[in-house]
Amino acid sequence: MNPPFPSRIGKATRRKDIFGNSLIYTVTDEDIFLATSDKNKAFCLHKLQYEDGKEGFRIGYYMITEGARMKGKWAWGQFSPMMTKEEMGMIIERIQAKG
């Protein structure tokens, strides 16, 4: 059995954009769900609120890790997810349901 999904709701993140400018955003809503192809992978939809008031969205993923430091825990994936056509359909359905 996998551990509960982590939540980023209400957490602010500070990073640099591709031009080196400061980028600050907070996750205001999220939906996390298991992939159908791998029980150790979960897709994540985040609604973002930027410091300047604009909104955005992020599609990401978590994986159950095997590394010593976080073994057996959900870790944020740092690359674009690979998914089946059916899983992409699931993502689109959830986006439509969120409006």
Tell me the C-alpha to C-alpha distance, in Å, between residue 97 and each of 2, 33, 57, 71. 26, 14, 14, 34
Whether the Cβ atoms of residue 90 and residue 33 lie closer than 8 Å to each other: yes
> Any idea where the domains of the chain sit in the sequence?
12-98
The pTM is what? 0.77
Pick from 4, 6, 86: nearest CA to 38: 86
pLDDT in tens, 46-94: 999 999 998 888 889 999 998 888 899 999 988 766 677 889 899 899 9
pLDDT in tens, 29-47: 999 999 999 999 999 989 9
Percentage of the chain surpassing pLDDT 70?
97
pLDDT in tens, 4-36: 999 999 999 998 888 999 999 999 999 999 999
